[in-house]
Amino acid sequence: MTDAIRHPRLPTDTDDGLVLVISGPSGAGKTTITRGVERAIRGSVFSVSWTTRPPTPADVEGVDYHFVSDEEFERMREAGGFLESAGVYGKKYGTPREWVIEHLNRGRVVILEIDVQGAINVKRHIPDVFALFILPPSEEVLLQRLRDRKREDEAMIQRRFSQATAEIAAARACHVYDHFIVNQDLDEAIAKATALVRERRERGVL
């Protein structure tokens, strides 16, 4: 499966570990769907990324992100501490390698909410990763969702929209994603994602 890091086996460990990647453009609803899947799947854990971006007043250290300096991030990257890392709008983000592999070996569903390039990189390390991509119902709906958040000016909204359409195209072309889920109705999208994960997990232990 991967270059496993071995830890003492616990009584609660199982043999049906799965790395689940959930991706999608800004405004598609991937974070809400990710949290819905995490609540619905027993034994699932969310991988908290490391980042160099400063925390907002709403951020909680260790829950939303692990916040570090650029120097510390680079030390971790050079030491092989990340399964994948990327730069987004001048800030860096990384998925912790040892933590993910430890929980995978313990039989957990390890959920990574990362972008397309990150998913490609993770699949190089863990070939049987299960990947879902969340789509908006249409480009028009996506643009309106970005505007409805009322977080940014129109120039930034257009920048995010352009990036989102490019990310969707890259996701379709990379052949990493097992399923594309259209988030027309949030509850239905969460149910669909949850059902797919359960099906894949059960198939993996047959």
| Alpha-carbon distance values, 31 to 22, 102, 192 (Å) | 9, 23, 15
Instruction: Please state which CATH number belongs to domain 18-204.
Output: 3.40.50.300
154 contacts 144 by C-beta, under 8 angstroms: no
| Strand residues in 114-178 grouped as ranges (E) | 130-135
Q: Where are the domains of the chain?
A: 18-204
Q: How many CB atoms lie within 10 A of CB 63?
A: 9
- What's the pLDDT at 4? 46
pTM metric for this prediction? 0.86
Name the nearest CA neighbour of 168 among 132, 113, 118, 116. 116
- What's the pLDDT at 137? 94
Give me the count of residues in the chain. 206
Work out the angle at residue 139's Cα, subtended by the Cα atoms of residues 134 and 142, and round it to the nearest 5 degrees.
65
User: What's the rounded Cα separation, in Å, for the pair 93 and 73?
Assistant: 9
Name the nearest CA neighbour of 64 among 74, 54, 73, 72. 54
The label of the residue with tokens 């951020």 reads 59
Q: pLDDT per position in the chain (206 positions), as tens?
A: 444 445 566 655 666 799 999 999 988 999 999 999 999 998 899 999 999 999 988 889 988 899 999 999 999 999 999 999 988 778 899 999 999 999 999 999 999 999 999 999 999 989 999 999 999 999 999 999 899 888 889 999 999 899 999 999 999 999 999 999 999 999 999 999 999 999 998 886 54
- What's the pLDDT at 115? 92
